[in-house]
Structure 1
């Protein structure tokens, strides 16, 4: 997963990509550390890029995206958030939403 280092770079990415997954984590978060490899492993199954951001390093992301818990996984299509999973992220419903996003990007 590529890392987002600023809110500005994130805005630029959203305009350049039709679909994107954003994995949000923070420092000292054991749930984040456990979930990250599970989500990262899914990347090979989907045609859209996966990005991560550590909101302890980029706090503006938390404010701009109204993030109140970590970990969180957000899906975006055409620059708009289409799904949000936070805290204990269930993999099966996440995959279902990513499958829908995959179909939407095929047009």
Structure 2
């Protein structure tokens, strides 16, 4: 999972119309630490790029993406937010939304 170090970096990826997953975490978050390996494990099953950002290090992204908690998993389709999962993420729901992108031909 590639790290995002600034909002500008993320905005450039989305301006290009990319389809991607963004995992948002913060410092001292046990739920974030527990969820991260589960989401990371999905990376081998889907060909879209997976990114992570720590909002404690890039606070601007929280404001720009209207993030009020952590963890948050965001799916983007053609540069636009497609799905949002916050705090307690149901992995089956996340897999279902990823499968929808597979069916659209956006990832394998």
Q: TM-score range, shorter-chain basis?
A: over 0.9
Match of 2:59 in 1: 59
User: Following the alignment from structure 2 to structure 1, what is the Cα–Cα distance between the partners of residues 17 and 77?
Assistant: 8
User: Following the alignment from structure 1 to structure 2, what is the Cα–Cα distance between the partners of residues 58 and 18?
Assistant: 21
Asked if 1:46 is matched to 2:59, the reply is no
In the alignment of these two chains, the number of paired residues is: 106
User: Following the alignment from structure 1 to structure 2, what is the Cα–Cα distance between the partners of residues 10 and 101?
Assistant: 20
Structure 1 segment 8-19 matched on structure 2, within 5 A = 8-16=8-16, 18-19=18-19
User: Following the alignment from structure 2 to structure 1, what is the Cα–Cα distance between the partners of residues 78 and 13?
Assistant: 11
Q: How large is the Cα RMSD of the aligned pairs?
A: 1.1
Determine if contact 1:47/1:102 at 8 Å carries over to the other structure.
no
Deviations 1:28-62 (A, max 9, x none): 00000000000000001111000000000000000
User: Following the alignment from structure 1 to structure 2, what is the Cα–Cα distance between the partners of residues 78 and 87?
Assistant: 24
Instruction: Name the TM-score, length of structure 1 as normaliser.
Output: 0.95
Asked if 1:78 is matched to 2:73, the reply is no
Going by fraction, where is helix more abundant, 1 or 2?
A: 1
Gapped regions of structure 2 (runs ≥ 5): none
